[in-house]
Amino acid sequence: MEGAHIVIGAQWGDEGKGKIVDVLASEADAVIRFNGGANAGHTLEIGGTKTVLHLLPVGIVRRGTTNIVGPYVVCDPEVLVTELEIAKASGANVVLDRRAPLVLPIHKQIDAGREQASGAGKIGTTGRGIGPCYEDFTSRRGPTLGDLTDCERFITALAQRGYYAERMAVAAHYGLTPMTVNETVDWAMRFSARIVPHLGDAVQEAAELQQQRLNLLFEGAQGIMLDLVHGGRPYCTSSFCGSGAVAATMGVHSFDRVVGVAKAYVTRVGGGPFPTELTDKTGDLLREKGREFGATTGRPRRCGWLDLAALRYACRVGGVTELVLTKLDILSGLSEIKVCTGYQLDGNTIDPLTTLTADLLSCAAPIYEILPVWNEDLRKYEGFWQLPPPVLRYIRYIEKTLDIPVAGVGVGPEREQMIWK
């Protein structure tokens, strides 16, 4: 790779971005997380050992790589210190933006309290306090990583324009007993010594690396269908997940590649509409064979057929210029393979440019195309054009329908099990 590359999820998260970023990171000078928080679960399988990272960029497993966390990443210090240990062991550098918002215990409590009070209408969040923390970021209050440098500064951040008192009132509304100000300060200061040495300016760092013509790899979290604006509200996350989030928060505006990662089928965790969901034996088969259990929460993922109507929309609004298709090996041996090419609403095919709101998706009837199946174990293949003809046809069908090239496919969990075109 050369220049600035972005890897983003083109579905509802869990597309296998961790593995793709890990593979591309071998040629990157810096890997940069720009959105979300510890709601992400980026899984790496290297030499049979599985590592799940939630907050730091996946470049931390590579010696000498610089790993940057931008000012739009909400940071849970408990997760940070655990992952900083991994970075230390592998000899990777870490720079954390001092403006990044800090996820506090009260954020997680409010997240859980709200979900519990919402009953059947709950979002199915990861419970990591992400939504409440981003609310505070937008209200321009709440402590940041930089406030860990000094106890007095941290106390001032909690007192800012009635900040913590208001949050305690929200917690009380849900019948919760949050930490007091003093307890929160004591809790936070426990992490200071390990986090403060890594504090810096992520935006300046990225600009300096670009000035030196070094290669930047931006690692997206969640997926475009979970984007705060373009995802189906309220069944979405609280951050922007497309390429625009890099421009808006990291000050980098021109990209050589925006790689959208999509699974060869679709999964979703949490609530919200899912037009191609399979609640039958095929869905169970995909879940078992694809090991579709949440990397962050362990929840079983809902599984369904590849949805090209949603993928077309996600690529457009998220700025994707090429796709990588993961877990193609999981489709081997199925008796039938379907892909959704569009939706019908009240008997009419909907315009492909229609915004896919949650209301629309919950009433949309998928239009399916049936494609040829294959039985070969794809893990043993190495060259793209040697893949079995029905597999090449599946890939070609996606490219033609979306008018976007597929740059590579994943045929197994390991680093080496990637086939580039």
Shortest Cβ distance from residue 376 to ligand IMP (Å)? Answer: 30
Using rule CB under 6 A, residue 41 touches ligand IMP = yes
Binding-site member from 269, 306, 325, 331 for ligand IMP (CB under 6 A):
269
**Binding residues for ligand IMP restricted to 272-291, rule: CB under 6 A:** none
Q: Which residues lie below 8 Å from residue 146, measured CB to CB, with a gap of 6+?
A: 98, 99, 153, 199
Q: Which of 5, 22, 29, 42 is labelled catalytic?
A: 42
Length of the chain: 421
Nearer to ligand IMP, 71 or 220 (CB): 220
Nearer to ligand IMP, 130 or 317 (CB): 130
Integer Cα distance of 305 and 201 in angstroms: 42
Number of residues that bind ligand IMP (CB under 6 A): 20
- Is 256 known to be catalytic? no
Integer Cα distance of 157 and 243 in angstroms: 31
Q: What angle do CA 241, 244, 247 make, to 5 degrees?
A: 120
Shortest Cβ distance from residue 183 to ligand IMP (Å)? Answer: 24
Binding-site member from 61, 94, 226, 310 for ligand IMP (CB under 6 A):
226
Integer Cα distance of 294 and 290 in angstroms: 12
> DSSP labels for 157-222?
HHHGGGHHHHHHHHHHHTT-----HHHHHHHHHHHHHHHGGGEE-HHHHHHHHHHTT--EEEE--S
Q: Give the contact letters, 115-154, x = binds to ligand IMP (CB under 6 A), - = no.
A: --------xxxx-x-xx-----------------------
Using rule CB under 6 A, residue 222 touches ligand IMP = yes
Tell me if the bond preceding 234 is cis, omega within 30° of 0.
Answer: yes
**Binding residues for ligand IMP restricted to 7-36, rule: CB under 6 A:** 13-14
Shortest Cβ distance from residue 72 to ligand IMP (Å)? Answer: 14
Q: Which of 190, 54, 232 is nearest to 130 (CA)?
A: 54
- Is 227 known to be catalytic? no
Q: Which range in 175-183, 232-240, 396-404, 405-413 contacts ligand IMP by CB under 6 A? A: 232-240
Integer Cα distance of 244 and 156 in angstroms: 33
Using rule CB under 6 A, residue 39 touches ligand IMP = yes
The set of catalytic residues is: 14, 42
Where does this chain bind ligand IMP (CB under 6 A)? 13-14, 39-41, 123-126, 128, 130-131, 221-222, 226, 235, 237-238, 269-270
